[in-house]
């Protein structure tokens, strides 16, 4: 068993143009003031870190870690969610996802993909320079527009999509292995890796690659009506990161899982701040502790109702209250009889 590290905070939803959210020093001091011990840093936010320098210079990374320490904070992981998304984009989403890429690359899917791969590679290098052995990413999606089989999917369509997805990620995973870094894909609707079955399809095609891991976020499983506790049992060895994010699913006579094209506030399934939804976090924290999870409990704030700064402060307290300081001895050790092998055999009637 192992005591989880935390609380950590994913900074992506908090970076902004005004202080304290517009600089690494400012946002880490603010996070520490909220009660966090660590921060998960989106690698593409230039106001927080220079990815090119971080990928090339251990000295730069040491200085960044020093700035974090001065704020009383540790860098838990880097995130390449946005860049990972662009590793594989179906043409139906080209216009929407062009906004994730530099302006000069928009309208040029091949150049956008090459930039994204380079960004993910640099995030791997930066993670290694920071002494961090895992990072977060989205997988991107080629098959997602064909999620619901109507009209009937042509034979081989999904297989071809996953073959291509694996081909794009395999050299990235190989580079990660060389650097001692694991890529934790957030299992997320909108990505081809959106549940256990799709993750297994990907694993099969990358040869069960040891650097391919999961970022476990139970909120996405609530909205899919997937058993998020059984998921932990099945994939314990592949879960490398954990987002503490809550959700609720309240189907009505008008809408269910697909949400009826409604805004988040009006959907049957919506994200909530930790503790405000339906996720059984007590059971999750217990399972993670029992399965020897060695990562951080990182709050990802996404809520249809609550102000983000309130959600951040409440989230730090929530994680602190849920982390289990694991015991170093069994509760019934006081009754131990101090028997040995010979005594055990006598108790079983195996000695004359």
User: What's the pLDDT tens digit per position in 24-55?
Assistant: 999 999 999 999 999 999 999 999 999 999 99
Q: Do the Cβ atoms of 185 and 193 come closer than 8 Å?
A: yes
352 falls in which pLDDT band (50, 70, 90)? Answer: low
What are the backbone dihedrals phi and psi of residue 253, each rounded to the nearest 5 degrees, phi first?
-75, -5
According to the model, what pLDDT value does residue 339 have? 76
DSSP 235: S
User: Global pTM?
Assistant: 0.94
Mean pLDDT of 225-248: 98
- Domains in the chain (CATH in brackets) are 5-347 (3.20.20.150)
158 falls in which pLDDT band (50, 70, 90)? Answer: very high
Residue with tokens 């909120």: 219
Query: How far apart are the C-alpha atoms of 269 and 250, rounded to whole Å?
Result: 6
pLDDT, the chain, mean: 96
pLDDT tens-digit series, residues 244-280: 999 999 999 999 999 999 999 999 999 999 999 999 9
Which residues is 249 bridged to in the sheet?
A: 269
Give how far Cα 68 sits from Cα of 38, 45, 123, Å: 9, 16, 18
Q: Do the Cβ atoms of 28 and 68 come closer than 8 Å?
A: yes
According to the model, what pLDDT value does residue 234 have? 98
CA nearest neighbour of 27 among 318, 298, 13: 13
What are the backbone dihedrals phi and psi of residue 320, each rounded to the nearest 5 degrees, phi first?
-55, -40
Give how far Cα 16 sits from Cα of 10, 45, 175, Å: 14, 10, 32
Mean pLDDT of 144-156: 96
- Measured distance between the N- and C-terminal CA atoms of the chain, rounded to whole angstroms: 40
According to the model, what pLDDT value does residue 327 have? 79
According to the model, what pLDDT value does residue 335 have? 61
pLDDT tens-digit series, residues 272-301: 999 999 999 999 999 999 999 999 999 999
What are the backbone dihedrals phi and psi of residue 138, each rounded to the nearest 5 degrees, phi first?
-90, 155
According to the model, what pLDDT value does residue 331 have? 67
pLDDT tens-digit series, residues 52-83: 999 999 999 999 999 999 999 999 999 999 99
What are the backbone dihedrals phi and psi of residue 201, each rounded to the nearest 5 degrees, phi first?
-60, -40
Query: How far apart are the C-alpha atoms of 56 and 33, rounded to whole Å?
Result: 31
Supply the DSSP string of 56-93, one letter for each residue.
H-HHHHHHHHHHHHHTT-EEEEEEEHHHHHTTSB-GGG
pLDDT tens-digit series, residues 293-350: 999 999 999 999 999 999 999 999 999 999 999 877 776 666 676 778 888 888 888 9
Query: How far apart are the C-alpha atoms of 292 and 111, rounded to whole Å?
Result: 41
According to the model, what pLDDT value does residue 344 have? 85
């Amino acid at each position: 068993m192992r005591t989880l590290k935390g609380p950590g905070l994913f900074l992506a939803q908090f970076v902004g143009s005004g202080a304290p959210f517009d600089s690494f020093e400012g946002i880490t001091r603010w996070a520490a003031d909220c009660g966090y011990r660590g921060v998960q840093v989106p690698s593409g936010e230039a106001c927080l870190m220079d990815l090119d320098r971080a990928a090339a210079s251990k000295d730069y990374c040491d200085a960044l870690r020093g700035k974090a320490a001065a704020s009383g904070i540790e860098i838990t992981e880097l995130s390449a969610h946005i860049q990972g998304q662009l590793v594989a984009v179906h043409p139906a989403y080209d216009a929407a996802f062009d906004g994730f890429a530099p302006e000069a690359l928009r309208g040029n899917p091949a150049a956008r993909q090459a930039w994204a791969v380079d960004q993910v590679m640099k995030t791997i290098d930066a993670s290694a320079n920071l002494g961090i052995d895992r990072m977060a990413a989205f997988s991107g999606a080629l098959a997602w527009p064909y999620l619901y089989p109507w009209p009937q999917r042509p034979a081989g369509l999904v297989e071809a999509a996953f073959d291509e997805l694996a081909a794009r990620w395999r050299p990235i995973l190989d580079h990660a292995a060389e650097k001692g870094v694991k890529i934790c894909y957030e299992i997320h609707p909108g990505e081809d890796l959106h549940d256990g079955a799709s993750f297994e399809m990907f694993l099969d095609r990358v040869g069960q690659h040891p650097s391919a891991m999961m970022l476990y976020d139970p909120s996405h499983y609530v909205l899919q009506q997937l058993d998020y506790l059984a998921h932990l049992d099945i994939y314990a060895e592949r879960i490398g990161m954990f987002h503490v994010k809550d959700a609720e699913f309240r189907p009505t006579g008008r809408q269910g899982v697909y949400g009826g094209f409604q805004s988040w506030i009006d959907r049957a399934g919506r994200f909530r701040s930790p503790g405000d939804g339906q996720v059984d976090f007590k059971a999750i924290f217990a399972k993670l502790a029992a399965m020897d999870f060695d990562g951080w409990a990182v709050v990802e704030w996404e809520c249809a109702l609550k102000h983000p700064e309130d959600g951040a402060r409440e989230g730090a307290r929530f994680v602190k209250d849920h982390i289990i300081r694991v015991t170093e001895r069994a509760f019934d050790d006081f009754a131990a009889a101090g028997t040995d092998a010979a005594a055990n055999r006598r108790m079983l009637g195996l000695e004359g």
